[in-house]
Amino acid sequence: MKKSLIAIALLCSGIVFSQSSHANAFVNGEDAVTYRQATFQAIRFNLVDINDMFRGNVPYDLERVQRRAEALATLSQLPWEAFNFPGADHASGKVKAALWQNLEDFNQRGEKFAADAAALHQAAQGGERREIQGAFREFANNCKACHDNYRAD
């Protein structure tokens, strides 16, 4: 409690900012792991909801699909910086060692994932159910492909 008050006081006085030379927003590796895992959970939620609509588990609602697709277009850009900072390979997280040996491939997959989410968002704006479903399938294929290679069980 006392420590966090001091941290807040430091933040407010600008000392932390002015002394900080970090290229990202993370205090440490564990902070980054929390951030990326939380982001993946939000991605999963939005994906599952769209999937449920296409499967007929819940009524299809175009406005709701558009809202989810818009969220995914933003969320899909977020996790990657939390894998790219000095010492990221020493933080916890459920990742395979292969990720750190193939970081460039991993980042490219992240970029493709974000591009597919942008395409899904665009299709959703168009409103054509078949187009949206096709873009959604394309987007969803990224998950397993990357997890098989880089996510630890």
Q: Which residues bind ligand HEC (CB under 6 A)?
A: 33, 36-37, 40-41, 43-44, 47, 93-95, 99, 106, 109-110, 113, 140, 142-143, 146-147, 150-151
Closest CA to 132 of 80, 58, 70, 45: 70
* Residue nearer to ligand HEC on the CB measure, 115 or 140: 140
Bridge partners (DSSP) of residue 95 are 151
* Residue nearer to ligand HEC on the CB measure, 41 or 125: 41
Nearest-approach distance from CB 75 to ligand HEC, in angstroms: 9
Nearest-approach distance from CB 13 to ligand HEC, in angstroms: 33
* Residue nearer to ligand HEC on the CB measure, 78 or 140: 140
